[in-house]
Amino acid sequence: MTYFRNNIERMSGYTPGEQPKDGIYIKLNTNENPYPPSSKVLNSIKEAVNDSLRLYPDPIVTQARIKIAGILGTKPERVMAGNGSDDLLSIIIRSFAGPGDKVVFPYPSYMLYKTLAELQDATACAADFTEDYSLPQDFIVKGAKVTFIANPNSPSGTLIPSNEISKIASKINGVLVIDEAYADFADDNCLHLVEKHDNILVLRTLSKSYSLAGIRLGFCIAQEPLIQGMMKVKDSYNVDRLSIAAVVATLDDQKSMKAHVEKIKSTRQYLTKSLEDMGFFVYPSQTNFVLARCMKGISAQKLYLALKSRKILVRYFNLRRLDDCLRITIGTKEEIDTLLKNLKELVGNKT
Ligand SMILES: Cc1ncc(COP(=O)(O)O)c(C=O)c1O
C-alpha cells in the first residue's frame, strides 16, 4: 500500500554530494567556491536582519532583477529569480512538460534533469555524449517539450560552442534550457542567443563564481513570454529577504568575484598539468572542477575512499562512463597541493 503516485514510487530521487557535518575535510566534492563571499554581502545581510523580516519579500524580486539585468545587459522583464537554479529547473519542468512528454538531456550530465522528468512522469530521453563530450547525432528528439544542456557540462567540465547551441535551438520545437552554472569560468556562453531564439532559457547561479551556494539564488534569462508564463508556476515568495539583500550587494562587487574566478582558473591549470604528469587523463575544463580519468590498474573508487580516509573529499560516481573517474573541485592552491601530495602517495602505492 502506498499513498504516492506511481512515478514517485518508482523513482529513486536525486542524491546530492556529501556535506560532512564535522567540517574538518578538505572539501572538493560539490563545486563550491573556496574563497569567501564579498564582504559587502555579509554587511548587507546583517543590515537586512531587522523587524521587516515579519513581512513577506517582494514576490517578483524587482530590485535584484533590475541589478541582474544591468550587469548582463538585458531587461528586467527578461529575468526571473529563483531559490537557486535548481528551483528554476523545477519551475521549467513544471511549466513545459507533463506526463508522457519527452524530456531530452545528454549523458553523463547533471543528474537532476532525469529526476525532474521522472517527477513529472515525463519520458526521459538521455543521449550519450560522444567520447570527447561533443553532442551526439541523435540529440535532437522530435516533439521533445524540454531539452536540457548543462554548458559547461558537469561532471565533464567541457563546453559546447554557442554557435552549435544556436543551431540546435533553431531545429527543435520545444524549449532549450542552457544551464550555465559555470559560465563565469568559461570562454563562451549563450546569453546572446536569448535575443535570437524565443525558445532558449539561460540559467545562471550565485552558487559558484559568487561563492554563495548557501544563499540559494539563481536566475533565468529568456524572452518575455517565457518569463511571464513561468511566473504563474513559481511559488509566490520563492526568494527570501536575506537572499535579495545578498544578491544586490554581491552584484555590486564584480571585482571580488572576477579576482576569485581568475585564481580558480589558474589553479585549474596547475591541477590539470599536475594530474596529467601523474598519468591521469583530464578532460578540458571550463569550470571550477576537473574530471580526471584514472590510469589503468588504479581503481577510482578505492582512490576516492582512500582520500576520504585522509579527510579529503572528492566526487566519485558509480555510474557508466564515470566509474573510472574522480571529479575534483578546484580549491585553494594550498588545498590542491595537499590533494596532490596525497594522490602521489596513494597512486605510488598502486591503489
Ligand atoms: C549544472 C548544474 N546546474 C545547476 C546546479 C545547481 O545550482 P544551484 O546551487 O544554483 O541550485 C549545479 C550545482 O552543482 C550544477 O552543477
For ligand 1, the distance from its centroid to the CA atom of residue 16, given in whole angstroms, is 10
Q: Does 108 sit behind a cis peptide bond, omega within 30 degrees of 0 on the bond before it?
A: yes
pLDDT on residue 141: 92
Residue in 105, 111, 160, 207 to alter for ligand 1 test, most ligand atoms within 8 A of Cβ: 207
Predicted model pTM: 0.96
The residue range of the domain holding 27 is 17-36+255-348
CATH code for position 261: 3.90.1150.10
90 close to ligand 1 (CB < 6 Angstrom): no
pLDDT at 349: 57
Task: Give me the pLDDT at residue 351, please.
Answer: 52
pLDDT in tens, 135-155: 998 899 999 999 999 999 999
For residues 276 and 219, what is the distance between their CA atoms, to the nearest angstrom?
A: 36
278 Rama class: left (phi>0) / alpha (psi -120 to 50) / beta = alpha
Give pLDDT, residue 186.
98
- Any atom of ligand 1 within 6 Å of the Cβ of 180: no
pLDDT at 1: 82
60 & 147 share domain: yes
Q: Quote the ligand 1 centre to 334 CA distance (angstroms).
A: 25
**Ligand 1 centroid – CA 297 distance (Å):** 33
Last residue within a domain, chosen from 237, 252, 267: 252
110: exposed, middle or buried (C-beta count within 10 Å: 0-12, 13-18, 19+)? buried
Q: What's the pLDDT score for residue 80?
A: 98
Share of the chain above pLDDT 90, in %: 95
Pocket test for ligand 1, best of 205, 243, 290 (most atoms within 8 A of CB): 205
Last residue of some domain: 219, 235, 252?
A: 252
pLDDT digits (tens, 9 = 90+) for 320-329: 999 999 999 9
Sheet holding 281-282, edge to edge: 281-282, 289-293, 325-329
Q: Which residue ranges of the chain lie beneath pLDDT 50?
A: none
